[in-house]
Structure 1
Amino acid sequence: MCHNHSEAPELGEGLTVTTCRTIGVDPVPYLHFGSEETTNVDVIVLMTDIFGVNPFYRHLSGLLVAEGYQVVMPDMFHRLGAAAPGRDGALARRARLDDPLAMDDVERVIERTTDGNRRFGVLGFCIGGSFALLSAATHRNQVTATYYAFPKGSPGAKVPVTEPLEVAGSIAGPVLGHWGRQDYIDAGEVEELAKVLDTAPGETEVRWYSDAGHSFLAGLTENPQDSVGAAADSWRRTLAFMGSHLTPATRG
């Protein structure tokens, strides 16, 4: 379930990782990933699954920095502390999460780390994918890629938030979503979301992977020699999608 056990190679040389907080009352912690080459370039906000900040997402952040972006990763569970070990611990912590408050925390990180008039990216996974779609509905300049997002919202919240299905039709920025046919997420709900996204003002694409289940991006590190599987293909598409809408440092 999600990426708590996904392999995570060591972070590359030249990568800087800084622990930061938003300003003002009740500051929200987040990690900033960058390098000498990515100063003042476009930002990608990475929203994690229910296991929160972990080595796999640090690894993905390093890959994005290598592509020429800055990356920020909000700690959506900072109010609840660390989860007990394993899936049950993560689900128990998730059950105590106030989703509207967590979304507000994410918005404060976005406000702190992005330029309101400049495009920025959001890459979300599972609950973070659902949050990414909600955020896209309020930011016309957001470029959104998701993995395994829940069209009707991630289940199990102490206080639920608006369903992505309710707002998807108003998303003005580009969206790319990835799902696997073997996932436990209801495929009918995803198809319904795809239809609503088709009516949205922005460019949208839904990608299905027939033999993939939940957390299939784990193959990026578990099977790095597989250049045609769901993990490799979806990651290539995600990078191309971000690169077509954002300006990384490598473009000069």
Structure 2
Amino acid sequence: MTKREIEIRTSDGVAGASLFGPTAGAGVILYMDAFGPRPALDGMAQRLAGEGYAVLVPDLFYRRAPYGPFDAKTAFSVETTARQLRGLLSATTQAMTMADTGAFLDALGREGVTGPIGAVGYCMGGARALNAAAAFPDRIKAAASFHGGNLASDAADSPYHHAGRFKARVYVGSAEVDKSFPPEQSARLAEALREAKVDHIIENYVGMAHGWCVPDHGAYDAAGAERHWKRLVGFFAETLA
């Protein structure tokens, strides 16, 4: 599947991004995990593009570039790289990503993507995918999070606070063991989405740990990842057709 590197001008600079697949019809923004754009995410984007979508993978950490690369299996267990990652995460707020998302959507339009737009995110990208649907309810029609963290925490930018803004369908795939999205947060998110009458599914992947979907992650699980693909492809087929 064709990959093109593009540059997207934002209010804070220029974000690098990779674009996969056909530049017509429906599009998907893939919000990265904490380890940044890399071959593992390229492979995931290429697989999704193979379903007929234009898939954009933007660098959410562009304000602090250059950085990395990081080994997703060890980066948080080595103090030097863990410090770098914590710095990148703290310096890249949800508000920044939402401002950038307007530019990402416009970039897809310039590339010829005129159909409905979906969003999917992993790890830190999970909350961003959901918040993007809240920030751009008339443009993003479907939003999915896999092992997303802090989806219903006390933080003001936690997605559950914005449930009333959703027009998109929502899918949340959570790991059985995930300190960043414990059962009490899952229940809180479900209640908020039900009260807001959001069409949604929250699914618990028993036996999976945080990061199970991403092939270079230490928690990667091949069978669980295939289950995630089945759910994601079906979800977008229903919502972006």
TM-score range, shorter chain: 0.7 to 0.9
Is the Cα contact below 8 Å between 1:172 and 1:200 reproduced in 2?
no
Note if 1:242 corresponds to 2:228: no
Question: How far, CA to CA, are the matches of 2:31 and 2:226 in structure 1?
Answer: 20
What TM-score comes out, normalization by structure 1 length?
0.78
Note if 1:102 corresponds to 2:97: yes
Note if 1:17 corresponds to 2:11: no
Amino acid at match of 1:29: G
* Structure 1 moving runs of 4+ over 3 Å: 114-118, 218-224
Partner of 1:151: 151
Is the Cα contact below 8 Å between 2:97 and 2:128 reproduced in 1?
no
Question: How far, CA to CA, are the matches of 1:141 and 1:202 in structure 2?
Answer: 16
Structure 1, 128-137 or 198-207: larger mean CA deviation: 198-207
Q: In structure 1, which of residues 189, 195, 208 is the aligned counterpart of residue 191 of structure 2?
A: 195
Shift of 1:168: 1.8
Shift of 1:111: 2.4
Shift of 1:41: 1.9
> Structure 1 residues 84, 112: closer, same or farther in 2, change over 3 A?
closer
Aligned pairs (5 A) from 1:10-89: 15-23=1-9, 26-34=13-21, 38-81=22-65, 82-83=67-68, 85=70, 86-87=75-76, 88=82, 89=84
Structure 1, 111-120 or 18-27: larger mean CA deviation: 111-120
Amino acid at match of 1:147: F
Question: How far, CA to CA, are the matches of 1:24 and 1:60 in structure 2?
Answer: 25
Note if 1:126 corresponds to 2:123: yes
Shift of 1:141: 4.0
> Structure 1 residues 24, 107: closer, same or farther in 2, change over 3 A?
closer
> Structure 1 residues 97, 211: closer, same or farther in 2, change over 3 A?
same
Amino acid at match of 2:183: A
> Number of residue pairs matched?
221
Is the Cα contact below 8 Å between 1:21 and 1:29 reproduced in 2?
yes
Contiguous gaps of at least 5 residues in structure 2: 77-81
The C-alpha deviation readout for 1:193-249, integer Å capped at 9, x for no partner, is: 11111223431100101211101114699665xxxx4322221011001011113xx
Amino acid at match of 1:207: E
Partner of 1:213: 209
Q: Which has the higher strand share?
A: 2
Amino acid at match of 1:79: R
Q: What secondary structure is seen at the aligned counterpart in 2 of 1:172?
A: coil
> Structure 1 residues 24, 130: closer, same or farther in 2, change over 3 A?
closer
Shift of 1:22: 2.3
Is the Cα contact below 8 Å between 1:171 and 1:201 reproduced in 2?
no
Question: How far, CA to CA, are the matches of 2:167 and 2:238 in structure 1?
Answer: 16
Is the Cα contact below 8 Å between 2:14 and 2:62 reproduced in 1?
no
Aligned pairs (5 A) from 1:214-233: 214-218=210-214, 224=222, 229-233=223-227
> Structure 1 residues 24, 198: closer, same or farther in 2, change over 3 A?
closer
Amino acid at match of 2:14: P
What TM-score comes out, normalization by structure 2 length?
0.82
